[in-house]
Amino acid sequence: MLGLLALPCGSAAASDAVRGCANQSADQHAERIEACSQLLRSRLAGKPMGVAYALRGLAYLDRGDVPNAISDLDKAVNLAPDFAPAFQNRGNAWFARGNFGRAIADYDAAIRLEPNVPSLYINRATVRRDLGNDQGALEDYAKAIALGAHRASPYRGRGEMHLRNGDTRRALADFDEAVRMEPRAEHYILRGRAREQAGDLSRAVTDYAEAVRLDPANVIAINAEANIWKKRGDYPKAIALYEQSIKAEPNNAATYRARAEAFFLKGDKARAYKEIERVLKFSWNADALKLRARWRLEDDNLDGVMSALGDIAKLEEEEDATVLGLRGAVAGRRKDTVRALNDLDAALKLNENLGFAYAERGVLLAGKGDQSRALADLDRAVALGAENAAVYRERAMLRKAKGDNDGAIGDFGQAIKRDPKPADPYFQRAALRKAKKDTDGTLSDLNEGLARAPDNLTARHERALIRLAKGDGKGAAADFDAVVKANPKNAQTIYQRGQAHEKAKDLAKALADYKQAATLDTKLTDASKAAARLTAEAKKKGTLADLEKAAKDPESAQETKADEAKAPAAEPARESKPSSEVVVAIPRPHPPKPPEPETKKQAEAAQHQPKASSQSKEQAKTSSSEKSAKDKAKAKDKDKAKERAREKNRDDSRPAIVRREPAPAPPSGYYRAPPARFTDLFQRR
């Protein structure tokens, strides 16, 4: 090209101007324009002048001055009609102006002049792709690659076309080549998108993370990675990445919107609504209003949804699929099934990828008994990324009805993951796990469910049976107590409670329950046999009298047993674990010392005592009846000696008696890359 610019009479200044004009460094466009202008003021003519105009036109294009670029390139092609770069760069200028037809014409002219230059086919392929000529674009990319284009752009461009057409396999092959040739952030983003579209989220997030590593301020890469974590349910990680993105670009409304969605899915609805309000302050737009309306629908705020639809109508004249779907959902929840199905059907005709509309229609169809269509709609809603726990709960019930227990267990798990507060999903999954003989899983679900709904007696009874089978007599007895309290005439449950007491070695309560159960239901022979067995064993051990006495009043016997177990050594144990009960201390007085029996020595000592006072003499004259009463009192004291004897080692420093009041029960609840600007793909010459 320097030869084309040679001046008839060379000089040092002229040589510098030639080199400066021919320099194609994009960031030195000002110097290049000056150098080319200097040449054009010289004695250039013909083709050399045309080349100088072509080079100055390219410098103007690099500066973004498209009108001057086209003006110079027009002169260039007139003065040098066989100079292909002039046509190629004028084609780039026409593309920048949006005149795709004239751009194609210039690329065609350049290809006729130089048919073996790969960049010409790459540029024409990009324009053909934008014009919808996919076949022509694919042919041009293939031609550029065949001509040995050792650059990423043709692979990238062709890969984007394959991705747009849903051919992820071919798209990935092309993006692999683009990454291999030029491992830049934008190429990792594109490959990540292809992997995400193919369902390979693990490798997609790896590509996005690498793009962020290469370009830490790349908001598109950061948000793409955050979106994957949000899709996988790791909302804290997604939120952290959105915050990183906001630091890089504080005024990006799309990032705030995405973070608002993450807050909502995490369950922090207050933050989500606050965030979407911020988005609406950036721009009062229908898209954000629709998102807020969908959240209001999930919160069952039907009036709020209708209010939002009124705001949307002021911004959009025609009702789109989302508006129809929201209106249909409100109608369905207000029991206007006919109107709801009409609106939802219309919405899905307009947009077959509207996940929430499938979910709402699926629930309505399930209510009408159309289980097959309902299940198909809910499957589609989940496939489209439905995150609402209600969708999974509803599908779990349908799968359970169809006998798909494994699928139902999985759906209840997803529902619990998204909303762990309701008790019913735990109870439903417990029943399914019981059918699969998954005892540990069943017990775990019953524990979680009863923590939320402690008054569910069916669940209490099921847990009691499992605890009994596992040897936890004390825990089983506690659950049976709750069931018996609600139905004190249920002989079978009382008998089972007796088994739990026996397992816990509380034989008095066990015998009492066995006898009570046998009395309530004479046909319950297991209860009478158990009572007879315990009686025989006690008789053999010589403890029958004590056992029967305790069985008559098991609560009193239990208190006595507990009192006997109390001792100073047990004091530290009360501090080993905090109690959930309310402890009220009651001061306990020191018991009076038992009267000492009279002995001969005491009698003799009494004879040597000084004469009693007049009061003592008067007491000595007590009637025989009063003396008899005192003797009876002494006898009564002797009868209580054994009871007082167990406290003989206690002193005034012993611990106070405590009364334990149960803490309030927990509340119950029973719930049935960026597509890159194509201009950066154009090759300049």
**DSSP labels, 223-277:** HHHHHHHHHTT-HHHHHHHHHHHHHH-TT-HHHHHHHHHHHHHHT-HHHHHHHHH
Helix (H) / strand (E) element for 586: namely: strand 582-586
CB 326 within 8 A of CB 297: yes
Instruction: Quickly count: other Cβ atoms within 10 Å of residue 595's Cβ.
Output: 11
What is the distance in angstroms between the CA of the first residue and the CA of the last residue of the chain?
11
What are the residues facing 584 on neighbouring strands? 659
Helix (H) / strand (E) element for 582: namely: strand 582-586
CB 362 within 8 A of CB 375: yes
pLDDT of 334 reads: 96
Q: Closest by alpha carbon to 217, among 184, 191, 246, 237?
A: 246
Please give the Cα distance from 239 to 237 (Å, whole number): 5
Largest interatomic CA distance in the chain: 161
Helix (H) / strand (E) element for 336: namely: none
CB 111 within 8 A of CB 124: yes
pLDDT of 649 reads: 42
For strands 582-586 and 657-661, give the pairing.
Answer: antiparallel
Tokens read off for 450: 């009863």
- Dihedral sign for Cα 452, 457, 459, 460, please: positive
CB 107 within 8 A of CB 87: yes
Helices 507-520, 544-552: inter-axial angle, 10-degree rounding: 60
Q: Is 98 left (phi over 0), alpha (psi -120 to 50) or beta?
A: left
pLDDT of 549 reads: 81
Please give the Cα distance from 473 to 479 (Å, whole number): 10
CB 430 within 8 A of CB 400: no
Please give the Cα distance from 17 to 31 (Å, whole number): 10
Q: Closest by alpha carbon to 547, among 480, 527, 536, 519?
A: 536
- Dihedral sign for Cα 290, 291, 294, 300, please: negative
Please give the Cα distance from 303 to 219 (Å, whole number): 37
CB 376 within 8 A of CB 395: no
pLDDT of 161 reads: 94
Residues of the chain with pLDDT under 50: 2, 8-9, 560, 564, 567-623, 625, 646-682
Q: Closest by alpha carbon to 291, among 389, 387, 422?
A: 387
CB 449 within 8 A of CB 469: no
For every residue of 621-665, DSSP letters joined together read T--HHHHHHHHHHHHHHHHTHHHHHTTTT--TTSPPEEEEEPPPP
Q: Closest by alpha carbon to 252, among 282, 212, 222?
A: 282
Q: Closest by alpha carbon to 672, among 446, 426, 436?
A: 426
Helix (H) / strand (E) element for 583: namely: strand 582-586
Interacting residues of 253 by C-beta distance below 8 A, sequence separation 6+? 279, 282, 283
Q: What is the 3-state secondary structure (H, E, C) of 398-464?
A: HHHHCCCHHHHHHHHHHHHHHCCCCCHHHHHHHHHHHHCCCHHHHHHHHHHHHHHCCCCHHHHHHHH
- Dihedral sign for Cα 321, 324, 329, 332, please: negative
Compute the CA torsion angle 94, 96, 99, 103 (nearest 10 deg).
Answer: 40
Whether the full predicted model's pTM is greater than 0.85, yes or no, is: no
Q: Closest by alpha carbon to 382, among 395, 370, 372, 368?
A: 395
Q: Closest by alpha carbon to 337, among 309, 289, 374?
A: 374
Please give the Cα distance from 359 to 340 (Å, whole number): 13
Q: Where do the DSSP E strands lie in 46-128?
A: none
CB 222 within 8 A of CB 240: no
CB 48 within 8 A of CB 4: yes
CB 332 within 8 A of CB 345: no
